[in-house]
Amino acid sequence: MRKRRDARAAAADIVSRTERRAKMQPVPVQSTLIDAVYFSQEDGRLRVCLNNGQERLFEGVAESHVIAMVTAKSPGKYYLENVRSRYKPIAA
């Protein structure tokens, strides 16, 4: 648990610089794979925080995919099958 918090804190500085460009809003999600989701309607940037402490940042994501992911029966499965495979991750 501590390693996850440390990894998230280390990534927070990088992510906060990215978020200054376009304000990312938290999107509520209940998932065993995904810890948190942040999305910017302005530029389609999506940040997915996984429960293992890793974070993925995507750009050009359609809002409909974000809504479908967070409302899916299994948001983690939707993420793996429809977001991770369709959108290329960008460096944070």
Tens of pLDDT, residue by residue over 15-69, are: 444 444 568 888 889 999 999 999 999 889 999 999 999 999 999 999 999 999 9
Q: Give yes or no for residue 7 having a pLDDT over 60.
A: no
What's the number of domains the chain is made of? Answer: 1
Domain that holds residue 53: 2-90
How far is the C-alpha of 16 from the C-alpha of 12, rounded, in Å? Answer: 6
Residue type, 54: Q
Q: Give yes or no for residue 86 having a pLDDT over 70.
A: yes
pLDDT bracket for residue 74 (50, 70, 90): very high
Total-model pTM = 0.71
- How many C-beta neighbours within 10 Å does residue 28 have? 8
- Residue 23 has a pLDDT of 80
Query: Which residues lie below 8 Å from residue 45, measured CB to CB, with a gap of 6+?
Result: 18, 22, 24, 39, 57, 58, 59, 61
